[in-house]
Amino acid sequence: MSFKKDKKGITVRFEDDEMAKLEQLGARYQVSSATILRWALQALVEYVEINGGRIILPLDFSNLSPLGRTEADCVQRQLK
């Protein structure tokens, strides 16, 4: 018998305009707002790793890898 890995949850409160933007992104890319937040967290973690454990402001995500995806995968799933 296999068990799914337990997931942890948190409550995050957003201003109305922030939540609207998050929901718009989710609708645009046909994913949940939780998925958008996971993607943002993954990008931030990689950004910090690339910068030696530091957050340098303003954030510049242009040098991030496609997180284990091939270039062909990224082109196929390219966000419009």
Residue 14: what residue type?
F
pLDDT at 69: 55
- Count the alpha carbons within 13 Å of 44 in the hemisphere toward its beta carbon: 9
pLDDT at 63: 76
Output the pTM of the full model.
0.67
Query: Is residue 75 pLDDT above 80, yes or no?
Result: no
Q: Is the dihedral of CA 44, 48, 54, 58 positive or negative?
A: negative
pLDDT at 67: 57
Radius of gyration of the chain (CA): 15
Interatomic CA distance for residues 45 and 49, integer angstroms = 6
CA 63 to chain centre: 15
pLDDT at 62: 82
pLDDT digits 0-9 by tens, 13-68 = 999 999 999 999 999 999 999 999 999 999 899 889 988 999 988 988 787 776 55
Q: Please, where are the H alpha helices in the chain?
A: 16-29, 33-50, 71-76
